[in-house]
Copies of this chain bind each other. A is one copy, B any other.
Amino acid sequence: MMDYPLLVHQFLERASVFSPHKEIISREGDSAHRYTYADLTKRASRLSNALAGLGVGKGDRVGTFAWNTYRHLEAYFAAPSMGAVLHTINIRLFTEDLVYIINHAGDKVILIDPDLVPILEPLAPQLESVEHFIILTDDRSFTTTLPSAHNYEDLLSEVSDEYSPVRVGENEPAGLCYTSATTGRPKGVIYSHRGIVLHSMMAAQVDTIGFRERDVVLPIVPMFHANCWGVPYTSALVGATQVLNGVRPDPEVICRLIDSEKVTLSLGVPTIWIGVLDHIGRSGRDYDFSSLREIVSGGSAVPISLIQAYKKKLDVNLIQAYGMTEATPIISYNRSTSGFDSYSDGDKLQLAGTQGAMVPGLEMRLVDDENNDIPWDGDQRGELLFKGPWIADSYYNDPRTEETFIDGWYHSGDIASVSPEGYIQIGDRVKDMVKSGGEWISSVDLETAIIGHPGVLEAAVIGIPHERWQERPLACVVANLESQGKLDKADVLDFIKDRFASWWMPDDVVFIDEIPKTSVGKMDKKVLRERYKDHQLGN
């Protein structure tokens, strides 16, 4: 066979020829910017030429600090075409982490949305490697204290719209994302061209997410998070319409876009989907969601009650996926296979509550503390280990590599059981388990049960220090609109008490206005643990 490398620029080359008229729709306030793959291709070429003009070459890191917009999408293709590395910076990081990752990555250029400029302006003196800032706007009157700042549209207007991709090997880096760490600074993951291409070829398969030419794809996952779950690349591979939700999207924006653009596939974390359902309930508005073939939820486990609510209230299939920054990121997808057709409705629902089967192309193990394999019986829990062509083999320039990548396996730190059919049921992160009297209590199991209460919007269970038992569980609960001020501790505990051994039951329930979230929308239990570390448990 030909020695033909798998490279990111091939996606757009195909889309520009076979789907030149398909649209990229990018929300701008209440209206939208629309153009085609043909336009995207030309503008990505212009961006490559412009970056080359600023001295960016093979191997250089191109940072982006931006929302989901068409200009950000242009960078997704422009940097890899040059053999440069697209570093998507999480805009919600603490300033110390921002400085750390930009310096650690050695970003040469940063493309930044105008409304985010105030975040980086005060940090600029600490950014050692950045030679240019490019403001993602056509507003020539925009001013900033950022040094060596350029107007994006000015740069693009000055160069040719033709560009020949730089020759690179398929194992060379195309992207870079940082993931938050349990302790210490974020850790960087390098995405190779090969990894991204194979991941996209997988995600377009029928039994995984099944991206297709006829899709209108709305990623709610930010483009600065875990490669945007590969959505920009897989969409281009198949020539799907892309809808980008712009600056500061909220549930209303998402509902409007699904309705008006006839979105068929949308992807985001559970928090988003809880928010969307809540918005529809509060606003009483009647959005048309009939175009959706499915919505994808990933990043953390979803309660079955949410899946049921989407089906019942909106007739929408909510499908769970599982993955992580280290895996480009898709590991598993919950496409129901033929073996489940004969299951009872209850068992099917249990199945929908899992994170699905590992996608083709990877290998997986479930192991105990001593690295022994644990049976896939749907019951016993262990840590998930993965191997495959789109799984990282290291953290970028980071000694923590050796804690996580061992003997050729990526140790995910996720505790799970696996059903005999191979369906993954994620429990807690190792660090989120509550250790009581030498035994483990799963915070996720308790949360999932509590969220099933009709008066509960969200719940987080944390372990707080306890003199006798070492840790005991505390439930932090957000009541929904109708139940605020009415729901009490006894309601919550009564609702779940038949499902757990008595020593699993939370010692107390506190009602709070909202669950603090991390920069990528997951529940931030670190904050809760800190807040309640001296909480007196009722006995």
Minimum Cβ distance to chain B for residue A303 (Å): 25
Minimum Cβ distance to chain B for residue A294 (Å): 13
Q: A1-15 CB contact bits vs B (8 Å, 1 = yes)?
A: 111101000100110
- The docked-state distance in angstroms from the alpha carbon of A238 to that of B205 is 9
> Which of B214, B389, B392, B410 has a CB less than 8 Å from the CB of A6?
B389
Q: Which B residue sits closest to A393, measured CB to CB?
A: B2
User: Residue A290 at the B interface, CB < 8 A?
Assistant: no
Number of copies of this protein chain within its complex: 2
| Tier of interface size on chain A | 35 or more
- The docked-state distance in angstroms from the alpha carbon of A337 to that of B19 is 9
Residue picked from A191, A337, A391, most chain B C-beta under 10 Å:
A337
Instruction: Assess whether A171 is in contact with B205, with CB atoms less than 8 Å apart.
Output: no
> Which of B4, B202, B338 has a CB less than 8 Å from the CB of A389?
B4
User: Residue A360 at the B interface, CB < 8 A?
Assistant: yes
> Which of B22, B212, B337, B393 has a CB less than 8 Å from the CB of A207?
B212
For A29, the chain B residues whose CB sits under 8 A away are: none
Q: A474-512 CB contact bits vs B (8 Å, 1 = yes)?
A: 000000000000000000000000000000000000000
- The docked-state distance in angstroms from the alpha carbon of A21 to that of B421 is 10
- The docked-state distance in angstroms from the alpha carbon of A388 to that of B1 is 8
User: Residue A358 at the B interface, CB < 8 A?
Assistant: yes
Q: Which B residue sits closest to A192, measured CB to CB?
A: B1
Instruction: Assess whether A1 is in contact with B191, with CB atoms less than 8 Å apart.
Output: yes
Instruction: Assess whether A3 is in contact with B205, with CB atoms less than 8 Å apart.
Output: no
Q: A242-272 CB contact bits vs B (8 Å, 1 = yes)?
A: 0000000000000000000000000000000
- The docked-state distance in angstroms from the alpha carbon of A309 to that of B210 is 31
Q: Which of A154-176 contact B (CB under 8 A)?
A: 171
Stretch of A55-63, A193-201, A315-323, A344-352 on the interface side = A193-201
For A3, the chain B residues whose CB sits under 8 A away are: 171, 393
- The docked-state distance in angstroms from the alpha carbon of A464 to that of B388 is 57
For A6, the chain B residues whose CB sits under 8 A away are: 198, 389
User: Residue A213 at the B interface, CB < 8 A?
Assistant: yes
For A335, the chain B residues whose CB sits under 8 A away are: 213
Q: A173-190 CB contact bits vs B (8 Å, 1 = yes)?
A: 000000000000000001
User: Residue A361 at the B interface, CB < 8 A?
Assistant: yes
User: Residue A237 at the B interface, CB < 8 A?
Assistant: yes
Instruction: Assess whether A358 is in contact with B1, with CB atoms less than 8 Å apart.
Output: no
User: Residue A17 at the B interface, CB < 8 A?
Assistant: yes
**What are the nearest 3 A-B pairs in CB distance?**
A1-B195, A206-B212, A204-B205
A-B contact pairs, 17 of them (CB 8 A): A1-B195, A1-B391, A2-B388, A4-B387, A4-B389, A6-B198, A10-B361, A18-B357, A19-B339, A21-B339, A22-B339, A201-B205, A201-B360, A204-B205, A206-B211, A207-B212, A207-B238
7 new A-B contacts at CB < 8 Å, known A1-B171, A4-B388, A204-B207: A1-B393, A2-B408, A4-B389, A18-B422, A22-B339, A205-B205, A213-B335
